[in-house]
């Protein structure tokens, strides 16, 4: 009862400051579902060759400019297999709801089309253009390469609702073909990219650029809070238009964006148990909410798995002996002169499979190149511990310690006395 009053007052205050809060749900990742059903190995083998994707690719003119083979999208399917945080948007008038990944590692908005022929689309919400009177045809097609085949679709413009914000004439993609098993099992319908426009495959403004142009946000900033557990409240939040101090503690460390595509920043070094071990002369990292793990160049990750005592399994994943968790080294990322340390309980993911508790390494090898060199990907494993702020006004990323569990409920109690 009291909480309701408090929350109502707070949402009024936040609304007055132009903050939009999008609740995020934490769910089991596709990879974890595949693992639980024991088909991960077959999936890893099969998803390299997808005959159907080639067949459907022929429906589109070969020279379609958006069918570029870009390595970053190839990596994204991998990422989405681990994605865990989703939120809701609505498209069209009247609104049609979709569950999307709010992904700082891509820049497009797409949802399944009602004309889609793939199994993946049958399992998800599909956009019905004919049911919306705000829909505008575009006529162009798009393709996003996911390694297992191209996601193919048509482009349109539509009214988009994210929280209380209404974006007019948002360019988006309706997928008519979605490759591979990962999309079939995914608990999201589509993706809403929050990276810079240069990363977009769909020509036009990415959603946050539209929000800025249409002056829907007071500050050109959005931020993410990700919970540690599925049952926490909130499980996660995307805050559009600013930050929420209740969700983090301590100072914000601002790091300039080094290249505007991904949210890419310079990393100074990576230390294991305090000893500089990787990235000795500095390297590049991206802050990616659409990836759940921490990824890095293969050679470095293999060495890191060794340092934390993780051993490879037949399904290509790395396991750690759960009994040894407390004796494992901590891993520190140095960004903007500040040390960001993860303890073993932060970088190990526990899962119960067949009644047994297994501990999986939160690090994964992924060779993603940029003009500035190989990239490390700081995904949800990192972002759960550190509240992340994305500032398009000053092209910088802010990081602060996220408030969790006990400390978070304390904060609520404190707030409650301030706003009785």
| CA distances to 21, 124, 384 from 252, in Å | 20, 38, 15
Q: Is 131 in the site for ligand NAG (CB under 6 A)?
A: no
**Buried b / exposed e across 248-277, counting CB within 10 Å, b at 16+?**
beeebbebebbbebbbbbbbbbbbbeeeeb
Q: How many residues does the chain have?
A: 420
Nearest CA to 59 among 131, 118, 135?
118
Q: Which is nearer to ligand NAG, 87 or 297 (CB)?
A: 87
CB of 90: closest distance to ligand NAG in angstroms? 6
CB of 104: closest distance to ligand NAG in angstroms? 24
Does the active-site annotation cover 108?
no
CB of 187: closest distance to ligand NAG in angstroms? 16
Are 109 and 160 contacting, i.e. CB atoms less than 8 angstroms apart? yes
Q: Would the CA dihedral through 300, 304, 307, 311 be positive or negative?
A: negative
- The values of phi and psi at residue 230, to 5°, are -70, -30
Q: Which is nearer to ligand NAG, 100 or 364 (CB)?
A: 100
**Buried b / exposed e across 182-218, counting CB within 10 Å, b at 16+?**
bbbbbbbbbbbbbbbeebbbbebbbbbbbbbeeebbe
Q: Which is nearer to ligand NAG, 134 or 411 (CB)?
A: 134
By CB under 6 A, the count of residues binding ligand NAG is: 2
Phi-psi region at 131: left, alpha or beta (left = phi > 0; alpha = psi -120 to 50): alpha
Are 360 and 277 contacting, i.e. CB atoms less than 8 angstroms apart? no
Judged on CB neighbours under 10 Å (0-12, 13-18, 19+), 311 is exposed
Does the active-site annotation cover 103?
yes
Q: Which is nearer to ligand NAG, 100 or 308 (CB)?
A: 100
Residue 356: how many CB atoms within 10 A of its CB? Answer: 8
Q: Is 29 helix (H, G, I), strand (E, B) or coil?
A: coil
Query: 82, 138, 209, 288: which one is catalytic?
Result: 288
- The values of phi and psi at residue 65, to 5°, are -60, -25
Q: Which is nearer to ligand NAG, 162 or 194 (CB)?
A: 162
Rounded CA separation 102/98 (Å):
12
CB of 71: closest distance to ligand NAG in angstroms? 36
Q: Which is nearer to ligand NAG, 24 or 381 (CB)?
A: 24
Q: Which is nearer to ligand NAG, 142 or 188 (CB)?
A: 188
Q: Is 97 in the site for ligand NAG (CB under 6 A)?
A: yes
CB of 269: closest distance to ligand NAG in angstroms? 44
Restricted to residues 54-93, the positions that interact with ligand NAG (CB under 6 A) are 90
CB of 161: closest distance to ligand NAG in angstroms? 9
Residue nearest to ligand NAG (CB): 97
Q: Is 410 in the site for ligand NAG (CB under 6 A)?
A: no
CB of 97: closest distance to ligand NAG in angstroms? 4
| CA distances to 26, 55, 144, 420 from 185, in Å | 15, 22, 19, 45
Residues forming the site for ligand NAG (CB under 6 A): 90, 97
Active site residue ranges: 103, 288
């Amino acid at each position: 009862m009291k909480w309701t009053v408090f929350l109502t007052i707070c949402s009024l205050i936040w609304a007055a400051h132009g903050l939009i809060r999008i609740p995020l749900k934490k769910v089991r990742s596709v990879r974890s579902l595949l693992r639980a059903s024991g088909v991960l190995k077959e999936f890893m083998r099969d998803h390299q060759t997808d005959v159907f994707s080639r067949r459907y690719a022929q429906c589109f003119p070969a020279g379609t400019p958006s069918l570029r083979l870009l390595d970053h999208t190839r990596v994204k399917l991998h990422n989405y297999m681990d994605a865990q945080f989703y939120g809701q948007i609505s498209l069209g008038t009247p609104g049609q709801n979709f569950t999307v990944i709010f992904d700082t590692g891509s820049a497009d908005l797409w949802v399944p089309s009602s004309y889609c022929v793939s199994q993946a689309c049958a399992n998800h919400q599909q956009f019905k253009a004919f049911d919306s009177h705000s829909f505008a045809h575009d006529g162009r097609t798009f393709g996003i390469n996911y390694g297992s085949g191209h996601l193919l679709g048509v482009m349109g413009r539509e009214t988009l609702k994210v929280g209380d914000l209404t974006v007019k004439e948002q360019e988006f993609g309706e997928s008519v073909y979605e490759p591979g098993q990962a999309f079939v099992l995914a608990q999201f319908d589509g993706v809403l990219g929050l990276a810079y426009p240069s990363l977009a495959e769909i020509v036009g403004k990415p959603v946050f650029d539209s929000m800025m142009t249409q002056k829907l946000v007071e500050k050109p900033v959005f931020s993410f809070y990700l919970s540690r557990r599925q049952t926490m409240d909130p499980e996660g939040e995307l805050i559009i238009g600013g930050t929420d101090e209740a969700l983090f503690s301590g100072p914000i460390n601002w790091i300039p964006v080094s290249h505007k595509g991904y949210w890419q920043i310079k990393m100074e070094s990576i230390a294991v148990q305090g000893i500089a071990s990787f990235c000795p002369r500095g390297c590049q990292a991206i802050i990616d909410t659409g990836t759940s793990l921490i990824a890095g160049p293969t050679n470095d990750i293999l060495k890191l798995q060794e340092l934390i005592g993780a051993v490879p399994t037949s399904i290509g994943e790395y396991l750690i002996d759960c009994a040894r968790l407390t004796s494992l080294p901590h891993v520190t990322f140095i960004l903007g002169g500040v040390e960001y340390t993860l303890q073993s309980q932060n970088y190990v993911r526990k899962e119960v499979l067949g009644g047994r508790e297994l501990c999986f390494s939160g690090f994964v090898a992924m060779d993603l190149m940029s003009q500035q060199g190989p990239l490390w990907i700081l995904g949800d494993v990192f972002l759960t511990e550190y509240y992340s702020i994305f500032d398009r006004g000053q092209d910088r990323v802010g990081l602060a310690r996220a408030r969790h569990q006990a400390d978070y409920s304390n904060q609520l109690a404190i707030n409650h006395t301030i706003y009785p």
